[in-house]
Structure 1
């Protein structure tokens, strides 16, 4: 069984209890639930979001200073207000996600706790290794993604990011870097 954690779905705070029940139920029936995810390097993720959301250069600094869509918050809450029919995340999930407060250390530790229950946590930079290990753990064969563009969901930058802009981004991504480093230590 594969679960794809993507946009418009509650985060791990809501989904982990469900995934645990699925894992237990499947195990009782002789099957395995293999949980796998990839983490993205924080700076490249933010650059991608800036491009994807088409943030104008005039609002770049305000966007970065007020950046609240961290990877920590994404994994923990995702988009709580938008979810599939029949999935009702707790009300505090939506309020917590929409608050523009940076995640605190307890939220980082909570995400790390959830990730420790995954069978495989890797980085996007290691995608070839991720696919090889995934194939090994699941027994699935390799597959080829047909793409006429040679990439998936690649957004074009509207302007060059200077060293000063990059420093501002890194300064505002410290929570994600803590998650990144701690998750990859495990």
Structure 2
């Protein structure tokens, strides 16, 4: 990691425990190398407990909520290094990129979130906004269709699904204005047709 990122990580770890701070002072990159050679988890090499990792996440989340996206992104990177299988760490980094208008990086990281948590429509939904900001409306439609597919009939995602369906219709009109006819694959997709159908009332 870059020197600034190391320093941010060091401060965060030191705030969670003095014992960890000593280890981090030797350099996180060295600990990562040691962990690899000894087949240790990065968390164990850093001497971090589950509570400490959660504390790091809370700190990163606070930084994000106060608009300190660059600082938050550095902690989210560290958290991903500690446990790359935890979807919320990657989502945090993707959200930081998104807010910093680094849309290509955000899309790549949202894609990683989609792999880590294949049942969630949320990464695809947020990736669609990045595509919209980049004026790539066709890619945005594809991302929204993926979000709708993953949302399925799950009640907790119904609101997201409804917004995605409305956005698809809006984007299709915008894309047609800019580039003429939409590709048949988009125009005739099952989800695009579903978006035109009247919604059933829920009793």
Larger % of helix: which? 2
Larger % of strand: which? 1
Task: Select the structure with the greater relative contact order (CA < 8 A; seq sep ≥ 6).
Answer: 1
Shorter chain as denominator, the TM-score bin is: under 0.3
**Highest CA radius of gyration, 1 or 2?**
2
